[in-house]
Amino acid sequence: MKTRLDEKGYLVYCGYRKNNELSERKVHRIVLKPLLDYLHYKYSEITWVVHHKNRIKTDNRFENLQIMIKEHHDQLHIEAMKKKT
Ligand SMILES: [Zn+2]
């Protein structure tokens, strides 16, 4: 699989085709795509993000990924930052 690291440290898959043009997709969003599609369809007003439970952005195993509401996810990372300092 053709992948590279993006500027934020996430693995992106480079061979994804969209409207016949080659584009990139974050691997963790590909892993959970059916679920994300369903949530976007069902709760379209909510922004859904994928969280890496062990904080390793390249660890895209299914069990390491968690779909969260963006605000909750932001909060989680803010809390984690506070604990470190
Ligand atoms: Zn996260």
Q: What are phi and psi of 74, to 5 degrees?
A: -60, -45
* Dist. CA 46–CA 82, nearest whole Å: 26
% the chain with pLDDT above 70: 96
Q: What is the pTM of this model?
A: 0.84
The top-level CATH class assigned to 3-84 is: alpha beta
List pLDDT tens digits, range 24-60.
Answer: 899 999 999 999 999 999 999 999 999 999 999 999 9
DSSP 58-71: T---GGGEEEEEHH
- Cα 70 to ligand 1 centre (Å): 9
- Cα 67 to ligand 1 centre (Å): 9
* Dist. CA 74–CA 59, nearest whole Å: 19
- Cα 17 to ligand 1 centre (Å): 26
Q: Where are the domains of the chain?
A: 3-84
- Cα 73 to ligand 1 centre (Å): 6
Residue 73 has pLDDT above 70, yes or no: yes
Neighbours of 9 (CB within 10 A): 9
